[in-house]
Amino acid sequence: MSLLTKLNRDLETPFKIKFSKEVLETSNKTILDKFKISFNYSYCDNLEVLNDNKLIVRNEFIRIKPDLNWNLWTGVGYAELRIIDIDENKTKRVEYLIDFTRISVSSIIFIFFIVFILVSSLSSNELLDFLKIIFFGIIPLLMIAHIFLFLRHRTMFFRTLKTPIENFGNYNWKEIFEKKTNHELIEISKGKRHLPEEVIGLAIRELEKRKTEIQ
């Protein structure tokens, strides 16, 4: 774990958001397995299970992922899922915490950097016009980006809880694995992606099928 990632995890900031929901579920493992699929399929960097009731995601500062787009974890350095037993009726509260510090601080620094660079080179009127662009253009766009990221995480959280593990996410795993490279399938088959055993079995069968076709 890099020093920057550790600091991002330990530092308390006002940019953390938490979702929670009470569920009737007999097994912590079932809940964790569903979120393992969600997190891994969205290309998080590092995933760790703690004490059978907590799942942690840590992402590096510089991220280049196979999807090559602004994905779910862009600007998010740390997230955690926690399962809390409430009563003997097996009611559990599932809490999902996302730390938006990275994207929020980066946005603030970006705005101040632009202002600092241009303030000495612009006249008073030009500077006023530029500040209007920042306050009525750039800042609203950054706020929309934050809201969009917030909604994506919220949607993933509630959708993951709602969907049964046997047909989780309506993912066609057979089709997904057909598009994976051999290297990715080998990593999955070795358990490096922390997917459920049923899904890992599909990856192993896809590898075996490719070996048969080559022969």
Domain parsing of the chain, residue ranges: 104-141, 172-215
CA–CA gap between residue 8 and residue 148 (Å, rounded): 22
Residue 183 reports pLDDT greater than 60: yes
Q: Note every long-range contact of 169-173, with CB atoms under 8 Å and residues 24 or more positions apart, other chains counting.
A: 169/37, 169/38, 169/41, 171/37, 171/41, 173/199, 173/202
CA–CA gap between residue 34 and residue 136 (Å, rounded): 41
Mean pLDDT of 168-174: 62
Cα angle 138, 143, 144 (rounded to 5 degrees) comes to 100
Q: pLDDT tens-digit profile of 13-36? A: 678 889 999 988 668 888 888 888
Which DSSP helix (H) or strand (E) runs through 79?
strand 78-85
Q: pLDDT tens-digit profile of 79-130? A: 999 999 887 767 899 999 999 988 888 888 888 887 777 776 666 667 677 7
Cα angle 30, 31, 32 (rounded to 5 degrees) comes to 95
Within 8 A by CB and 6+ apart from 160, the residues are 34, 35, 37, 38, 168, 169
CA–CA gap between residue 188 and residue 210 (Å, rounded): 15
The model scores a pTM over 0.85: no
CA dihedral 20, 25, 51, 38 (to 10 degrees): -60
